[in-house]
Amino acid sequence: MRILIVTHVVRRNDGQGRVNYEIVQAALAAGHTVTLLAAEAAPELVQHPRVRFVQVATSRLPTRLLQYQLFAWRCGAWMRAHRSEFDVVHVNGFIAWARADVNAAHFVHDGWYRCGFYPFRLLGSFYHAYQVLYTLLNIHCEKWAFRHAEVIVPVSQKVAGEVRALGGSIADARMQVIHNGVDVDEFTPGAPERARFNLPDAPFMLLFAGDLRMSRKNLDTVLHALAHTAPNVHLAVAGILHNSPYPALVASLGLTGRVHFTDMVMDMPALMRSVDAFVFPSRYEPMGLVLLEALSAGLPVITVRTAGGAEVITADSGIVLDDPNDARALAVAIERLANEPDYARQLGAHAREVARSLSWEAMAERYLSVYEQIHARRAPEALPARCSTASVEL
Residue whose C-alpha is closest to residue 27's, from 104, 103, 90, 94:
90
Per-residue pLDDT at 15: 84
274 within 8 A of 296, measured Cβ to Cβ: no
pLDDT at 202: 85
The overall average pLDDT reported for the chain is: 93
Whether 338 is in a domain gets the answer yes
Q: What is the DSSP letter of 253?
A: T
Whether 236 and 221 map to the same domain: the answer is yes
pLDDT at position 380 is: 57
Residue 256 lies in a domain: yes
Within-domain flag for 188: no
pLDDT bin (cut points 50, 70, 90) of residue 236 is: very high
Q: Say yes or no: 344 and 376 in one domain.
A: no
Chain segment 185-225, per-residue pLDDT in tens: 999 999 999 999 999 998 999 999 988 888 899 999 999 99
Claim to verify: residue 348 and residue 272 sit in the same structural domain: yes
Which of 157, 39, 159 has its CA nearest to residue 110?
159
Range with the poorest average pLDDT among 53-57, 62-66, 71-75, 348-352: 62-66
Has residue 189 been placed in a domain?
A: no
Query: Of 33, 31, 42, nearest to 7 (Cα)?
Result: 42
Q: Which of 8, 97, 12 is nearest to 55 (CA)?
A: 8
Asked, for residue 186, whether it belongs to a domain, the answer is no
Per-residue pLDDT tens for 6-16?
Answer: 999 999 988 89
Closest by CA to 89, choosing from 74, 99, 77, is 99
The verdict on 69 and 140 lying in the same domain is: yes
What confidence tens digit (pLDDT) does each residue in 128-178 have? 999 999 999 999 999 999 999 999 999 999 999 999 999 877 777 689 999
| Section 17-24 average pLDDT | 96
> Can you point out the beta strands (E) in 165-318?
204-209, 233-238, 259-263, 277-280, 301-304
Of 288, 304, 316, 9, give the one whose Cα is nearest residue 156.
Answer: 288
301 and 157 in a single domain? The answer is: no
Q: Residue 243 — very low, low, confident or very high, per pLDDT cuts 50/70/90? A: confident
Nearest to 270 by CA among 236, 313, 240, 233: 236
On whether residue 251 sits in a domain, the answer given is yes
**Predicted confidence (pLDDT) per residue in 290-329, tens digit:** 999 999 999 999 999 999 889 999 999 999 999 999 999 9
Distance (Å, whole) CA 360 – CA 339 = 34
Longest dimension (CA), the chain: 70
CA 193-199-205 angle, to 5 degrees, is 90
**pLDDT value at position 3?**
98
pLDDT for 394 equals 63
**Spatial separation of the C-alpha atoms in residues 92 and 103, rounded to whole Å:** 5
- pLDDT at position 389: 44
Question: Do 222 and 116 lie in a common domain?
Answer: no
Q: Which residues pair with 38 in a beta bridge?
A: 55
Are residue 105 and residue 155 in the same domain, yes or no? yes
Sign of the alpha-carbon torsion through 285, 287, 288, 291: positive
Range of the domain at 14: 2-181+359-393
Q: What percent of the chain has pLDDT over 90?
A: 87
Shared-domain flag, residues 352 and 377: no
CA dihedral 222, 228, 229, 231 (to 10 degrees): 110
72-109 tens-digit pLDDT = 999 999 999 999 999 999 999 999 999 999 999 999 99
Task: Count how many domains the chain has.
Answer: 2
Cα 356 to Cα 183: distance, rounded to the nearest angstrom:
9
Under DSSP, the state recorded for 167 is -
Q: Which of 304, 374, 362 is nearest to 333 (CA)?
A: 304
Alpha helices in the chain (DSSP H): 15-29, 43-46, 64-82, 109-113, 126-147, 157-164, 219-226, 246-252, 268-273, 289-296, 327-339, 341-356, 360-376
Instruction: Say which CATH number the domain at 260 has.
Output: 3.40.50.2000
pLDDT per residue as tens digits for the range 368-392: 999 999 999 875 554 454 444 445 4
Residue 388: the pLDDT is 46
Is residue 74 domain-resident?
yes
| List of residues 6+ apart from 18 with CB closer than 8 A | 11, 12, 289, 360
- Do 162 and 16 belong together in one domain? yes
Q: State whether 42 and 176 are in the same domain.
A: yes
One domain for residues 226 and 123:
no
224 and 329 share one domain: yes
Band the pLDDT of 393: cuts 50, 70, 90: low
pLDDT computed for residue 379 by the predictor: 57
